[in-house]
Structure 1
């Protein structure tokens, strides 16, 4: 079962170096960097625990398939432990999704100042940045949905393994379905990461064309 690996939020972070009266570009900068901070905090908090829970689930599954039906009680015990990792992942991905939504809401606050931009080039770059962010946000919704569907399939698998009368063909069919779902999830993850890169590039282009003095990390 593949791990879900995301870029660490907004990889392109900029430190605002100029301090004077608040212009439209400065207001936009403040909201964009606040959005980045919100997301980065969410990812930093959730990513490693997610990976750890996924790895524990994979290890438990490996232990289960090494056992035979004479060790059924141990199979049930391990399956219950694996279900606990599924529930843990549900909580973690939910918290991660909340940080995505909070960051997106903060980005929308920046949009309110786009119309105040006087430079035509900046307006075009701001529109490109908005499009990139909207597509990124949409790609995460797909990823989040697929991740939860994969979790449902994982839980169903572990419940099936607790059935002494489980039919092998039924189990094999479910495993195939689960693997297909994880393939979809990996594609969605790659898509989200690509959109994150596109957004970061668009944000950087906006900053570089503006009157802001920023330092990129």
Structure 2
């Protein structure tokens, strides 16, 4: 039932050389890279467990549909195991959302220094970076909303499977609805990843236009 989803993370960079004293671009750099570190740390902690849980649920679902009503007790047991996994994913996605929001808050600290930039090109690059980040942040909120919907539908599915009186038409309709939301989730994930790539490109362009010597990783 469930599908894998892997989000694109921020690209990190290393400042090779700084001048004496902290310039506006160096202060912005510090906040941008701190934002990247906050997010990437959160993704590293949450993404693989999320994928593992989804794969586990897919295996459980396959086991369930291969059983008949003579094995109803086993169906209930497997469904309960899948429900526990859904709750685990709910906690993981909430933690992932928190890391996104913490990273965005750190990014806003960089934005507060944009007005100190003196070169027009650098200001333009900074504004493009901010637009890309805002698009990315909004797209994640949309992704989170649809992911929550998919979790609710998965939970409903496994609760339904524990009903001995469940009819095939009801189950089929629910599965079709769930698959539709999975498709929306895949599209939202792709949109988020595109905005992440756009932000990474905008950040790299900002660094290249600045007086910073940065190595991109």
| TM-score of the two chains, using structure 2 as the length reference | 0.98
Cα drift, residue 210 of structure 1:
0.2
2:47 paired residue number: 47
Is 1:2–2:11 an aligned residue pair? no
Cα drift, residue 119 of structure 1:
0.3
User: Within 2, Cα distance between the matches of 1:171 and 1:126?
Assistant: 51
Q: Which runs of 4+ in 1 moved over 2 A?
A: none
Cα drift, residue 13 of structure 1:
1.2
Q: Summarize deviations over 1:30-87 as a string: whole Å, max 9, x none.
A: 0000000000000001111001000110000000000000100000000000000100
User: Within 1, Cα distance between the matches of 2:141 and 2:80?
Assistant: 29
Gap regions ≥5 residues in structure 2 = none
Cα drift, residue 17 of structure 1:
1.6
1:79 paired residue number: 79
User: Within 1, Cα distance between the matches of 2:124 and 2:191?
Assistant: 24
* Structure 1 segment 90-109 matched on structure 2, within 5 A: 90-109=90-109
User: Within 1, Cα distance between the matches of 2:209 and 2:90?
Assistant: 41
* Structure 1 segment 37-186 matched on structure 2, within 5 A: 37-186=37-186
Gap regions ≥5 residues in structure 1 = none
- Count how many residue pairs are aligned between Structure 1 and Structure 2: 215
Cα drift, residue 193 of structure 1:
0.2
Is 1:18–2:8 an aligned residue pair? no
User: Within 2, Cα distance between the matches of 1:2 and 1:182?
Assistant: 7
| TM-score of the two chains, using structure 1 as the length reference | 0.98
Q: Summarize deviations over 1:113-133 as a string: whole Å, max 9, x none.
A: 000000000000000000000
Is 1:197–2:205 an aligned residue pair? no
Asked if structure 1 preserves the Cα contact closer than 8 Å seen for 2:3 and 2:55, the reply is no
SS in 2 for 1:118: coil
User: Within 1, Cα distance between the matches of 2:16 and 2:90?
Assistant: 40
SS in 1 for 2:17: coil
